[in-house]
Amino acid sequence: MSETFQCVKADIDMTETTDGSLVLQNKSPLASYPANLGVWLRKHAETSPDKHFLQQRDEQGRWYGLTYAQTLDSVNRISNGLIARGLDRTRPIAILSENSISMALIQLAAMQVGLAAVPVSYAYSVRSETGSHIRHILDVSRPSMLFMSDADVHMTKLSQWDNDDLELYAFSNSKSHDGVRPFTSLSDESGTLSPESQARFDAVTPDTLAKIQFTSGSTNLPKGVEVTHGMMVTNQTGISQMWPFLDENDVVVDWMPWNHTFGGNFVFNMTLMHGGTFYIDHGNPTPIGLPTTIQNIKDISPTIYFGVPRSFTAIYARMQEDETLKQAFFKNLKFIFTAAAALDQATYEGMKAMSAEVRGESVPFFSGWGSTETSPDSTLVYWEIGDARVIGLPIPGVKVKLAPDSSGKLELRVKGPNVTVGYYKNEEATRAVFDEEGYYCTGDAGKFLNADDPSAGLIFDGRIGEDFKLTSGVWVNNSRLRGSINELGQPFLLEVVIAAPNRDYLTGLVFPNLPALRERFGEAGHACPEDADFLKNEAVTGFFLNIFKQHNTAQKGSSGRFERFALLTEPPRIDKNETTDKGYINQSAVLSHRADTVEKLYAESPSGNVIIIDTRK
């Protein structure tokens, strides 16, 4: 690690409660913080007015954007326009858009004057056949206004319903649709807040609702998490205490959607707090979106790169063949941050070795853990680690409780100023997620990397509700098994779902990465233009069969060894809650909606695309 890159030493208090729980707390007290997220924008507009803040590509592919001063001017004009419309805190505004400068402006403008924003996933309109999630979110939040990125894209869904109680605005193509106003019509003539707008700004407190962020709906319809200004500003303040190397020179290239907490609260707010530059990446780690992401990395060379494990496995695979990408990715990089799941150790070690080739020293990997309900960070890695599974320790102001669960695991529970008071207009769901001491019960399990040295950090130990028993009564560690298959199969599979609760043995449903597979097995791809035929090709089935056999050789019992699997031709459906717009797979929804395939996996005489694994050693 560079001598100029100084890490904070891990230092926590740990106490044991009468019920056997362990409570962890950072020894550093939380530093002071502003009441209004908008204070940070004002600060940088004053101290660094000409510094680039937000950048995106135009239709010709050229980068353009706004400085901090220009951003504040635009945000103030929009805030004045909102207040002039007579809006108050009783109803939020909704935003249906991919990440964009316009989305950032309307969201910042609403929040700084005490109006809550409801960012709605762009995928719920574009990738959804019905738009049912949009209808649900609008029914729950009852916004007064809805801002959409492109009226031509979104009105197909929105026009299905009666929107008389909703003012509609669009960033583009508003003229093509009756009742849709152009976004620019909302802006006031003055870039200075009006007296009423300034009074609204001053009235914002840490308890003021800033966002209603809807969860991914991994088990049920999405719930609206109440996110306050205090949750977001305390979270970034605690992170900055542990990461003193963040500064105004940081450059971020990021694709993660802002309706989610990782992209919208962690990455965006971090850039805003420190006065960095945010390049909006309209790519993603899917086979279709990856080329765009790669080109953006080559153009910009970020100083920090944030992502989920899938993004790093995809980029790492490309860097092994693309020297230009490798040089651009690492040459300015301070560190890499991964979250949402554990990165496989092979990719972790490979990327560290690559960074040493480019820079003469390895770039550190950091990680963290949290949720929408914790805005999002609860634990953070802020020291050099050697194991990609480590999710860190609590940041200042946050307490993490490891509570014993009947499964034998320890549930991670959180208390602190970063934790939500509950779900919007859903008292029942709110009551269900807090324990008797007021800790938010995440449903995630954790344990120490080294039980004899808690300062080495926590590791993620799977979801409490995703582990299950076989009919023999033996517990199955779902997360560990999925992680093993995913690591062995990268980058040629998207995810594996274990189809075994209350069964005699393990089987798997595999979502293949078809573009990557077709590139690897070119001859088979040419001979089999239809995906269903391609996935039955002997070369392809043999490849996946070998992956499962490799996994099985390291397993000792029935709770770890797969006997059958199936390659799925239909990708996970967002309408059926099988996946989120970030690509996370909902295990239970997949098993429910593909019950016919599960039954084939366990049929006495399996047929179709079921592949039997020889489990004999």
Higher pLDDT pick, 353 / 575: 353
Whether residue 568 contacts residue 597, with contact meaning beta carbons closer than 8 Å, is answered with yes
Task: List C-alpha distances in Å: 162 to 135, 165, 179.
Answer: 11, 8, 12
**Averaged pLDDT score across all residues of the chain:** 92
For the chain, state the CA radius of gyration. Answer: 24
Q: Check whether 94 has a pLDDT greater than 90.
A: yes
Task: List C-alpha distances in Å: 49 to 19, 70, 77, 250.
Answer: 54, 8, 17, 16
The SS3 assignment for 516 reads helix
Q: What is the structure's pLDDT at 617?
A: 47
Whether residue 333 contacts residue 363, with contact meaning beta carbons closer than 8 Å, is answered with yes
Q: What is the structure's pLDDT at 396?
A: 97
Whether residue 341 contacts residue 301, with contact meaning beta carbons closer than 8 Å, is answered with no
Q: What is the pTM of this model?
A: 0.85
Q: What one-character DSSP code corresponds to residue 32? A: P
Q: Check whether 223 has a pLDDT greater than 80.
A: yes
The tokens of 352 are what?
A: 């560290």
- Spatial CA neighbour of 139 closest among 169, 168, 118: 118
Q: Check whether 257 has a pLDDT greater than 90.
A: yes
> Quick one: average pLDDT of 207-228?
86
- C-alpha 209/C-alpha 90 separation (Å) is 11
**Exposure string for 32-55, b = 16+ CB within 10 A, e = fewer:** ebbbbbbbbbbbbbeeeeebbbbb
> Quick one: average pLDDT of 439-465?
91
Q: What one-character DSSP code corresponds to residue 185? A: G
Q: What is the structure's pLDDT at 230?
A: 98
Q: Check whether 1 has a pLDDT greater than 60.
A: no
Higher pLDDT pick, 271 / 504: 271
In degrees, to the nearest 5, what angle opens at C-alpha 230 toward C-alphas 224 and 236?
A: 100
Q: Check whether 329 has a pLDDT greater than 90.
A: yes
Q: Check whether 407 has a pLDDT greater than 80.
A: no
- Spatial CA neighbour of 263 closest among 475, 68, 97: 97
- Spatial CA neighbour of 68 closest among 86, 53, 58: 53
In degrees, to the nearest 5, what angle opens at C-alpha 228 toward C-alphas 222 and 231?
A: 100
> Quick one: average pLDDT of 35-62?
97
**How many helices (DSSP H) and strands (DSSP E) are in the chain?**
22, 28
**85 contacts: CB under 8 Å, gap ≥ 6:** 145, 167, 186
Min mean pLDDT across 64-68, 131-135, 151-155 is at 131-135
- C-alpha 148/C-alpha 543 separation (Å) is 44
* CA atoms 156, 161, 162, 168: torsion sign: negative
Q: Check whether 132 has a pLDDT greater than 90.
A: no
Higher pLDDT pick, 309 / 78: 78
Q: Check whether 435 has a pLDDT greater than 50.
A: yes
Query: In DSSP terms, which residues pair with 13 in a beta bridge?
Result: 25
Q: Please classify residue 85 by burial: count the beta carbons closer than 10 Å to its beta carbon, then call 0-12 exposed, 13-18 middle and 19+ buried.
A: exposed
- Spatial CA neighbour of 309 closest among 548, 589, 583: 583
